[in-house]
Chain A
Amino acid sequence: MADTLERTDERTEQWQQTVLERPWVTIVWNDPVNLVSYVEWIFRTYFGFDRTEAHRLTMLVHNEGKAVVASGTREEMERHVTAMHGFGLWATLQKDEA
C-alpha cells in the first residue's frame, strides 16, 4: 500500500510540473533582412507546418514584429532557438506570458 502511495505521489509531482508550470515558448522576431519566402520555407521544413500556417506565422512576424512558433519544455525550446540561429533567424525563448 505504502509503495502504491509513493508511486502516486511521484506521478502527482510530475503531473503538477507539466500541468501547472507555464510552458516555454520559442519566439521568432522580425528583422529587415530575412526573406519572406525563406522564413516560410524554414517554418515548413523545420517545424513541419503546412503552407497556410507557415505563411500565417511568417506574416505575423513581418507585420506584428514577432510570433510564437513553438511551445513546450525549456530544453525543446532551446533546441529550436539554436536551430533558428543556425538558419539566421532571430529567435529567443521565454516562459509563456499567457
Chain B
Amino acid sequence: MNGFRRSGDDVVAKFGLEDAELLATLARQVAVLIADRGEPGDDPVLDRLLPDAYRDSAEDAAEFRRFTESELGDQKVANALAIAESLDTSPGSKNVTVRLDAGDAMSWLRALTDIRLALGTRLGLTDEGVPDLGGGGSGGGSEHDADQSALTYAIYSWLSAVQESLVHAVDR
C-alpha cells in the first residue's frame, strides 16, 4: 500500500489482499456497531462517533439527538459499508486496486475517520499517546493487553497514513 495518488479526476490506491480484508472487516464492524447502538453513554466509541451537540445542557443535547441522530447514524453506516464494498476482492487476486471519484473519496475520508475514532477511543489514545504502550508494567494491564494494544495501534497508525495520503490526493 503506497497510499492514494491522483489519477485524472479520481484518486487511486492499491491494497495488498490482507490489508484490504483487514480494512473491509474494520469498516463492517464499525457499521454494525453504529447500526446496533443502544442508548447514549453505553459505549464511549459511540459517544465519540455520535457526540452531544450541546455540552452545557443534557436536555438540549437529548432533544437535538432525537431529531438528528438517526440520519447521522445512517450516513455513517452507509459510508463504512461503501469502504467495505470498494475493497471487495476477486478470487485469486493478490491485491485490490481502489479507484474513487470525488463522492467516493468523501465517503472514504468520513469512514476512515470513524474507524480511526473507534480504534483510538478503544486504545484510550490521548495527545500524549497510548497509555497501555507506555511500558514498565505500571499501567496495570497484562502482557496480553499490551500486545493487543500494540497491534491495534499499528493498525491505527497505518489507517492514519492511508487517510493522510487520501486527504493530500483529494486536495491536490
Contact = CB atoms under 8 A, between A and B. Distances in A.
Contacts of A94: 54-56
B53 A33 contact: no
B114 interface: yes
Contacts of A90: 48, 51
Contact of B110 (A31, A33, A37, A88): A88
B126 interface: yes
B125 A78 contact: no
Nearest to A37: B167
A30 B168 CA distance: 21
Contacts of B75: 86
B126 A82 contact: no
Say whether chain A's binding surface is mostly helix, strand, loop, or mixed.
mixed
B54 to A, nearest CB: 6
Interface string A52-95: 00000000000000000000000000100110011110111110
25 contacts: A32-B120, A32-B126, A33-B117, A33-B120, A33-B121, A34-B113, A35-B163, A38-B109, A38-B163, A38-B164, A41-B170, A41-B171, A78-B64, A81-B53, A82-B68, A85-B50, A86-B76, A86-B110, A87-B110, A90-B51, A91-B51, A92-B51, A92-B54, A92-B55, A93-B53
Interface of A: 30-35, 37-38, 41, 78, 81-82, 85-88, 90-94
